[in-house]
Every structure is written in C-alpha cells, then in structure tokens.
Structure 1
Amino acid sequence: MRRSLHTPITAVLVVLSFTASAVAAPLPRRPPPTGPEREMLDEAKRLLDEGRLADARDIHLTLWGLTKSASDAFRVGMLSFRLHDYERAAEFLSIYFDMVGTPDAPKIWVPPGFKESYELARANFAEARRHVGALDVRASEPGAAVLVDGRQVGVSPLPRPVYVAPGQHRVIGQLAGTQIETTAAVDAGGERTVWLTFPRARAEAPAHPLVREVASRPVAAPPSTHSPALRWWTVGALATMSAALATVGALSVLEANDAAGERDAAFFWARREVFHCRPGLPACDAYADADRRTKTFTGLSVGAFVGAGLSAGGAVAAGVLLAPQAKVRVGIVGTAPGVGLSLSW
C-alpha cells in the first residue's frame, strides 16, 4: 500500500514558511529624528562643511547622549580619529562595532554602502588602537562605579575595555560607601587587566576580656507569654483525653471479641439448621446481629486508639510549646568563654 505524501509535504511547507518569516523579519531601525534632532544634524553638517570638526563632534556627542544610536557613535568615532583624539575614537568605534555587528551578520538595519563605511571604521580603529592602551577593569562585585583618572567610565561589569593614553593611570571603584583605588600602567597598543576587589562584610566575634575568676552573666530572653496554669491545664486535659480514649479502645476490643465469638457460634448453628440464611430464622438473625456488633466495636476500638495517640502527642507538644523560655548563661573561665544551658519547666 502506498504511503500518503501529504504529511511530509505539509511538514516541509510549515518549516519553509517559518524560515521565510524569520528571514523576512526586519532588523531594528533607528526612529526618524525629531525636529530638534534634525536641526542639530543640519547644524553639525554645516560645521563639518566649514571644517569645524571639533564643534561638529560636540553636536554628535550631544546627540549620542540623547539617542544612543549607532550612527551617532560612528560619527563621534570617525570625527575623533580625524582630530587625533585616539582614545575617544577607539571608544566610540568599539561601541559602533558592538551595535551594528558585521556586514555579513548585521544586528540592525544598515544603509546601502554599509560595508565600505564599516571597513573604513575598522581601519581607523586599528590605527587608533596603535596609539592607545586598553584597561580591562573588572570588579569583584556588580554595580560598582568605575573611574579612570577621575572620569566615570561606567558601572561594573564594564562591557568593553577603557581606552587610555600610554602611561600610568589611576583606577577607582566605588560601591556602597567603599572605595578601592589602584594604579595601572599600559603601553601603546597594549592591554592590561585591572582587578578591583571589594571586601565582603564579615561577622566578627566580640572580644572577651582576660579574667581569672569565673564570670557569669545571664542573657536576657524575651518573657514568656504563657502562664504555667495554662500549660498544665492543657497538658492535663490532653493526657486525660488520651487515657479515656485508650480505655474506650480496650473495652471496644473486648466487646468486639465477644461479638465475634457469638457470630462464629451463630454461623455454626445456622449452617446446621439451613443451607441458606434468610431473615426471620433465629440462627440467621443472631449471626447478623453478632456480625454487626463485631464490626462496630472493631471500628470503635481503632478510632479510640488513634485518638489516644493523637491526644498523647498533643499533650507532649503543648508541654514543649507552652514551656517557659530557656535560660542561657554565658561564663568566662580564664581566657576561654564558656556557655551553660539550663531548661526550666
């Protein structure tokens, strides 16, 4: 018999449709600039045409603070390279690379000619990297503010190295009122890892004075909210209930045994008199009555013993939970502290 091809064909079509939808999904794109942003972009272009690179870069720095867009990071990095500000050029071009990905695998929407501009940015970054060093600052705790030469460069963990001029630099970490400071030297084109290790809070044992004689001092405990009378009444009531239920259980066992004996005797006489029991025959009625009493007293004995056990457990729990608080005494003998524990009922 030929197998139907509908199922595999349908599966292939479903897979192809999902693949096509995934491929066709648009990449994230920067929102169109607002009116003020458009004015700032026009002003930066005018300054750039006039050769005022530093002023144009300042405008793009302001836009970067507002938009955090890849295009503004690109412009700041490329203008900084033209101004020979290699530290800032390396910083913003590395940000640009992280945001856009690569020409073969872009992370965001890229305009036509992206590959050429990307390759130019890569060449400028490599040249800038020859002039600067990199500090890979790592903190032992997250959320620490990191400062290099007095300038805050981010919060730990930092996503990328900090690009600095060759030489020695001061690195500071600040976290919850604690400041860690160190210095690090790096050469042009080199990289160095800087660790900021914050101390962790530790519980310290109190120091005891050296004494020759035994010192005893009670440790204050919260006063008990339960009176002794309440505790004894509760324990007594539960213990009495346990004993009563145990007695009922024992009597029920005796009654159940007697009823079982009567049932067995009635069953014997019923079989001797008739082959099938039916209501109205004395032997059959005696058997049914004895059987009913046997089951009743058996169930009663089981329930009584279970209740007795629960009551006994409740009496013990009440005695413990309603007991006064334990008294603890701490003594110092010689140079070693000693602890004495006394429980009071």
Structure 2
Amino acid sequence: MRCSPRGPITAAVLLLSCPAPATAEPLPRRPPSTGPEKEMLDQAKRLVDQGRIADARDIHLTLWRLTRSASDAFRVGMLSFRLRDYQMAAEFLAIYFDMVGTPDAPKIWVPPGFKESYELARANFAEARRHVGALEVRASEPGAAVLVDGRQVGVSPLKLPVFVAPGPHRVGAQLAGAQVEVQAAVDAGGERTVWLVLRRAGSEAPAAPRASKAADLPGAAPPLSTRGPALRWWTVGALAATSAALGVVGGVSVAEANDAADDRDAAFVRARWEVFRCRPGLPACDAYAEADGRAKTFTALSVGAFIGAGVAAGGAVTAGFLLAPEAKVRVGALGAAPGVALSFSW
C-alpha cells in the first residue's frame, strides 16, 4: 500500500498505519563478566604489569576454556606472541579472527578502537606464521577425532588449520574403531593439506578386484620426501660456490695465458733476429718454447674452468628446482582397507 499524506490528520493516521523500517539486529555481545571472572581479569592485568607474562597467559587460557570469548582468545594470542610461543599465538589469533570478523564486517559487537587492535593482531599473526607451519587436515568422515603427534586437535571437519613447528609430524584420525595415521612434513611459513580417508566399521568393500594385497597396506605408499631446507640450500650453495670459484680460476687463467702469449710473441721476434733456426740451448729459442707452453697450458685451463663453472651453475639451478619443497601432501585410501597414498605437487 502506498502511503501519501494529503493533510495533517491524514498524515498522522498514515504515519501510524505505515510499517516502520526494519532495523538491523544488534550484534551479539559477550555476557557480563561474573565476580570470579573479574577477579581473574584483574589478577592477569597485575601480572602483566609485573612482567609475568606467562602467568597472565595461563589465567586468560583458563578464562578462554570457561567463556570461549573472542577477547580471551585475543589476549591468549597476543601474550603468546610476546612469549615467542609462535605456535600458540598463531592458533589463538586465527580463532580470534574467525570469531570477530573484520573491522568492515564484524561478526560480534566490537568496542571503540577495535580497528587498531585488529591491525596489531594481524601484524603479530603474520610474524608468527613465518615461524610455524600449517596443516590443513581433511578427513573423509565427519565426527572423527583428529590427532597431530598424538594430541587431539579437534573433530572433523576442522574449520581452521593446525599450526605446528617446522618438520615432520604424525597426523591421524579415529572413528568407530577405524583409524589412519600418516607422516606429513611442513616448512616454516609453509602449508600442507593432509587428506585422511576413514571407512566406518562394516562398510562394504568395492566390487572391483585388487591387483595386489600388498598395495592396500599403508607401508606400500611412497615414502615421504626427505628433502628439507638444509639439504636444498647446502646443495645449491655448494654448486654456486663451485661455479664462482671456477669462474675466478678461468679469469685468472685467461690473464696468465695472455701474458704468456705476449712473452711468446716477443721471444719469437728475438729468435728471428738472433738466429736463423731455433735449436735447444739458445736463450731466445728456450724463452719462446717456455712461453708457448705456458700460453697453451693456461688457455686449456681457462677453457676447462669456464666449462666447469657453467656446469656447476646449471647444477645449482637444477638442484634448487628438484629439491624445492612440495606444496601439497594428499592422503587417500588404497582398495578397501584403510590406508594412505601420498602424492606430491608443486
């Protein structure tokens, strides 16, 4: 119905009868802190003022387990960053970002000055990520307990990545008696996706025959790549240093060959003027032979050095490419039995 006022009384009547514009629902807020919670918050603040950051973090961690609020996740993450516990800092700051949203699109009520604290948390999170790796764990069955190095980190599907120290880790899942565990390595600042395939108890096997029973066992999967940053940089660095050294040797040899050629030409001129035919024992002839030998030796040495430098440089580039870390680790099932199969991609 169109509402168009035609007079004062009509306008008043229509104003009361026209529907009011819909107002946006208020964003959810954290319930007011209870007395014990306020005491714990005050105690944590005093500990921070005293420089006892670890003790203050323990209090906020206890509050997080009780309240599951974004503010407690924020404080645990920021205090962990101050303690250089980058793994816990990344974990809780990621939780905080997921709960609070962004300054432009917050998911919950945020206090004044939220944008500044949010940007600081973002900067700390980026720095923490430089020191830890991230595992994106994907399980085939919902509700499976996901474990990393024997510690349960959640239940599938995991909403956020699992932040771990650089290096190899055991990643597994358990559900209704079925379980699977694989090895997955990750570099600092890197990320891996781990696929875990679980079959519920009593599930039927595929009708297609299997080629080999041994292929269904987890041990039959290709071994994880053992390449690491140390091996990569040592190999590339050694080849690059060898290439540079051979290049220097080649340059010095070229200079020596040029000097020897000049000496040889001068000795040849003297020999032509002093004698009609060179024979051993004559100073000019001996000087010519010695200079000619040096020129040939250094010329051959320079050619070999430059060839070796080129080969070493090519080897450094090839090693850097072949030993680069993989971008993905995928885990699947082979046949009907729970198992893993790893595939690597760039």
TM-score range, shorter chain: 0.5 to 0.7
Contact 2:3 2:18 in 1 (8 A): no
After TM superposition, give the deviation of residue 64 of structure 1 in Å.
0.2
**2-structure distance, mates of 1:171, 1:15:** 57
Residue in 1 aligned with 2:333? none
**1-structure distance, mates of 2:148, 2:58:** 22
Cα RMSD, aligned residues only: 2.4
Residue in 1 aligned with 2:61? 61
SS of the equivalent of 1:183 reads strand
- 1:1-57 Cα deviation digits (max 9, x unpaired): xxx8739x989x968712xx12xx321111111111111111111111110000100
In the TM superposition, what are the counterparts of 1:30-41 in structure 2 within 5 Å? 30-41=30-41
Residue in 2 aligned with 1:174? 174
Letter of the structure 1 residue corresponding to residue 126 of structure 2: A
Q: 1:17 and 2:21 equivalent?
A: yes
**2-structure distance, mates of 1:5, 1:26:** 28
After TM superposition, give the deviation of residue 203 of structure 1 in Å.
4.5
Residue in 2 aligned with 1:227? none
Residue in 2 aligned with 1:105? 105
After TM superposition, give the deviation of residue 137 of structure 1 in Å.
0.4
**1-structure distance, mates of 2:158, 2:180:** 16
The change in CA–CA distance for 1:16 and 1:66 in structure 2 (over 3 A counts) is: same
- 1:288-343 Cα deviation digits (max 9, x unpaired): xxxxxxxxxxxxxxxxxxxxxxxxxxxxxxxxxxxxxxxxxxxxxxxxxxxxxxxx
Bigger-Rg structure (1/2):
1
Residue in 1 aligned with 2:139? 139
The change in CA–CA distance for 1:124 and 1:15 in structure 2 (over 3 A counts) is: farther
- 1:85-108 Cα deviation digits (max 9, x unpaired): 111100000000011111111111
The structure showing larger relative contact order (alpha-carbon pairs under 8 Å, at least 6 residues apart) is 2
Residue in 1 aligned with 2:195? 195
Residue in 2 aligned with 1:124? 124
Residue in 2 aligned with 1:241? none
Q: How many aligned positions are there?
A: 197
What TM-score does the superposition give when structure 1 sets the normalisation length? 0.54
**2-structure distance, mates of 1:46, 1:102:** 30
SS of the equivalent of 2:21 reads helix
Letter of the structure 1 residue corresponding to residue 123 of structure 2: A
- 1:96-137 Cα deviation digits (max 9, x unpaired): 001111111111111111000000000000000111100000
Contact 2:148 2:172 in 1 (8 A): yes
After TM superposition, give the deviation of residue 151 of structure 1 in Å.
1.3
Contact 2:29 2:108 in 1 (8 A): yes
